[in-house]
Structure formats: C-alpha cells, structure tokens
C-alpha cells in the first residue's frame, strides 16, 4: 500500500514538471478577410486607364519593376489595386486590397462601390 501511495505521489509531482505547450496569445489587430471576387468584376482584369475612368485620379501610383500599385482613397475606405503584366500584355489588376482609413478591415466590394461614388470617380 505504501508503494502504491508513493508511486501516485511521485507521478503527481512529476506531472507538474511535464512540458506543456505555451498558450498562444490571441491575435491582435486585423482579421484577414477571405478573398471573394464577387462584386469585384469592375476592377479585376482592368488596366490603369480603366481604373482612372472608374475612380478618378489615383492618390498614389507606385511602380516596382513591371508591377504597379494604384491607390484610391475615399471617405470610407482605401483601395490598393495591384497590376501585373502577363504574356507581354499591359499590366492589369490581378489583386486588390481594401481597408478603412484607420486601417481596419473592410469588404473589398463595398469599398469599390463606395469609391465609384466618390467625387472624381465616374
């Protein structure tokens, strides 16, 4: 009986020494919004001239090699359109990202819709 009690006591004391995985802190900041192309048909696949007709003059035009990023800012959101060339064709939008002016996440299609109504857009 003493042996069983000693074994249980030893087991319990060793269990406290076992390595336990560190708890991961909750992610702070933004939550990734899944990329959904619905509602983005007016933007995806367009060239820079088409975006300018749709939204007005970009607030930023950044080029890096053959890639280009056009940024459009409105009252409700900021839209980054990434244009890349393919098969010798002029650069076209292959991806867009959107956020509220404070950096929080916003639905991309909602941002596109809001920017088409901003002053300077058509």
For residue 77, what is the domain's CATH number?
Answer: 3.30.1450
The predicted-structure confidence for 6-58, as pLDDT tens digits, reads as follows 555 545 554 454 444 444 455 555 555 555 566 788 899 999 999 999 999 99
Q: Which pLDDT score is estimated for 116? A: 87
Segments forming the whole domain that contains residue 43:
37-122
Q: Which of 21-25, 32-36, 78-82, 105-109 has the highest mean pLDDT?
A: 78-82
For residue 1, tell me if it sits in a domain: no
For residue 59, tell me if it sits in a domain: yes
For residue 114, tell me if it sits in a domain: yes
For residue 4, tell me if it sits in a domain: no
The total number of structural domains that make up the chain = 1
Model-wide pTM > 0.95: no
For residue 113, pLDDT over 60 is answered with: yes
Structure tokens at 34: 């899944």
Structure tokens at 9: 């006591």
Q: Which pLDDT score is estimated for 8? A: 54
For residue 43, tell me if it sits in a domain: yes
């Amino acid at each position: 009986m003493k042996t069983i009690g000693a074994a249980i006591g030893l087991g319990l004391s060793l269990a406290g020494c076992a390595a336990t995985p560190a708890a991961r802190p909750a992610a702070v900041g933004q939550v990734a919004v899944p990329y959904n192309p619905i509602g983005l048909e007016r933007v995806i696949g367009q060239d820079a001239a088409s975006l300018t007709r749709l939204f007005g003059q970009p607030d930023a035009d950044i080029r890096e090699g053959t890639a280009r990023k056009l940024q459009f800012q409105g009252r409700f959101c900021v839209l980054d359109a990434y244009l890349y060339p393919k098969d010798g064709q002029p650069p076209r939008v292959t991806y867009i990202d959107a956020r509220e002016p404070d950096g929080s996440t916003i639905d991309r299609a909602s941002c596109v819709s809001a920017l088409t109504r901003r002053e300077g857009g058509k």
